[in-house]
Amino acid sequence: MQWFKIPEKIYFQPGSVQYLSKMPNISRAFIVTDKVMVKLEYAEKVLYHLRKREGRNYVHSEIFDRVQPDPTVDIVREGVMAAEAFHPDVIIALGGGSAIDAAKAIWLFYEHPETNFNDLRMKFMDIRKRVFKYPHTVMDKVKRPKKERYVGKFLKQAEVVALFEAVKGHKLELGGILGVFYGLRRGEIVGLKWEAIDFEANTITIEHTVTVATIDGKRVVVEADTTKSKSSYRTLPLVPQFRAKLLAMREEQQYYKKLCGKSYNKKQGVYIYVDQLGNRIKPDYLTRQFPEFMVEHDFRKMRFHDLRHSCASLLLACGVPLKQIQEWLGHSDFAITANTYAHLELTLNWRQLMP
């Protein structure tokens, strides 16, 4: 077994895409991405900000969209050849880990063509003996900002009971239940369809998401039969109380569908989280309205995503191992679960020891 390691740290911050419109000393941008990001017009968003350089020079751009999951050496070499032909002065990674890894590798071989790939390959068992020294750049002297770790808030069991009572009959009710009990992400909640519910097997399958993106300065809703990662695709048990709630909601939706006739949105009516006219609840509604609802009803102010943290904390309090919590929440890596919730596990264990 062999492995190929490249510099692993990426430094970023909110607004990094918008920063391209004023980024100094660039004239040729090489965008490393995949075909999905191009199809969803995320690449167009990057091009928009590169073109929006008022009072600055025009930036020529080239898109390399050949990146695939776990990019091969051949794809990296193809990207290097494209970069050499284009002569960029900035390389932009657009996408997930595969695009970022490919961009870093392309940068390394483009900036330092003397680098030999065989020097980077190391026997897996010899990682403590063999270390490849990467070429130094002027960026090594730049003082890099440190990202502050965000610690999410979470509800205690009594607060969850009170929240369920307060949200009953409110437009936020379904989102609150799915957020606290199942720990679903916002896009997974809004993207939940009736076909994902198996009332015979009593299961819920998370397989479709609805998210929002800003393209050319406009907020666009993106529907996709994909999840955040492969691990996010999961099947969860349908508990009796929530099963009864869903059956009542389905009956109510059928009533309004018949009542509204042609005015009912049949296209979005396939989703569970819709209003009386069949219009799907917008993802931004949960993010915007939930904190306000919490304050108005004398709860601690918190983000909607903190319901996901609350789910994890309640599972920990019930003695569920972190590995199983990872699978329940759909984290792609156990390290994400451990790093995010290990402090909760320690706190809960200390409470159990206290008289």
Q: What is the pLDDT of residues 141-158, one digit of tens each?
A: 556 666 666 667 888 888
Positions of E strands within the chain: 2-4, 28-32, 60-64, 90-93, 121-123, 197-198, 203-206, 209-215, 218-224, 234-237
Contact 322, 197 (CB under 8 A): no
The CA-based dihedral angle spanning residues 272, 274, 276, 278, taken in that order and rounded to the nearest 10 degrees: -90
The gap between the terminal CA atoms of the chain, to the nearest Å, is 52
Q: Which residues of the chain have pLDDT under 70?
A: 1-13, 54-55, 117-151, 214-217, 341-355
For residues 270 and 195, give the distance between their C-alpha atoms in angstroms, rounded to a whole number: 8
CA 245, CA 199: separation in Å to the nearest integer? 12
Q: Show the CA angle centred on residue 218, arms to residues 60 and 189, nearest 5°.
A: 120
Confidence at residue 331, expressed as pLDDT on a 0 to 100 scale: 85
Q: How far apart are CA 110 and CA 83, in angstroms?
A: 7
Amino acid occupying residue 86: F
What pLDDT does residue 124 have?
Answer: 44
What's residue 215's pLDDT?
67
- pLDDT for 229 equals 77
Element spanning 326, H or E:
helix 322-329
CB 178 within 8 A of CB 249: no
What is the b/e burial string over 152-182, where b = at least 16 CB atoms within 10 angstroms of the residue's CB? bebbeeeebeebeebbeeeebbbbbbbbbbb
What structural domains and CATH numbers belong to the chain?
2-141 (3.40.50.1970), 157-353 (1.10.443.10)
Q: Are 142 and 148 in contact (CB under 8 A)?
A: no
Tokens of 23: 């980024």
Which stretches of 198-354 are DSSP H helices? 240-260, 283-296, 306-317, 322-329, 334-353
How far is Cα 207 from Cα 178, in angstroms, rounded to an integer?
A: 15
Contact assessment for residue 184 and residue 234, using Cβ atoms and an 8 Å cutoff: no
Predicted pLDDT at 345: 46
Structural contact between residues 173 and 167, judged by C-beta atoms closer than 8 angstroms: yes
Q: Which residues partner with 274 through β-bridges? A: 280
The pLDDT of residue 9? 45
Residue 97, H or E segment: helix 97-111
CA–CA dist 188, 224 (Å, integer): 10
Type of residue found at 50: L
Q: State the Cα–Cα distance between residues 93 and 91, nearest whole angstrom.
A: 7
The closest alpha carbon to 312, from 281, 280, 283, 347, belongs to: 347
pLDDT the model gives residue 16: 76
Only one residue has tokens 């076909």, namely 195
**pTM listed for this prediction:** 0.59
Q: How many residues does the chain have?
A: 355
* pLDDT number for residue 346: 45
